[in-house]
Amino acid sequence: MKTMPHSCNHLTLWYAQPAQKWVEALPVGNGRLGAMVFGGTAVEHLQFNEDTLWTGRPHAYHNKGASGHLSAVRTHLFEGRQAQAQRVAQ
């Protein structure tokens, strides 16, 4: 039986065994750069992701008028109209 180290507090995550698969992995990141951590100390896997991999280039995501269209985008999505939601979102 393993015990937790003395340095643990209410903000510490402690696991009894390492994640073996990606779906069990611990996500870490800041919204722009992220990783999934899994495997043990002998073989640790870090799967990285970075936001420009999806946009193809650095991109400014702020759009001052976007919040006014959020309700319409959600309605289209909930009703299965993805193409309309995409047009409104752009």
Amino acid residing at 76: H
Tokens of residue 51, six digits: 């936001």
Digit-coded pLDDT (tens) for 64-86: 888 899 999 999 999 999 999 99
Digit-coded pLDDT (tens) for 5-16: 666 677 888 888
Report in angstroms the alpha-carbon separations of 3 from 16, 41, 53, 70. 9, 18, 41, 48
Confidence of residue 1 (pLDDT cuts 50, 70, 90): very low
**Residue 32 near residue 51, CB atoms below 8 Å:** yes
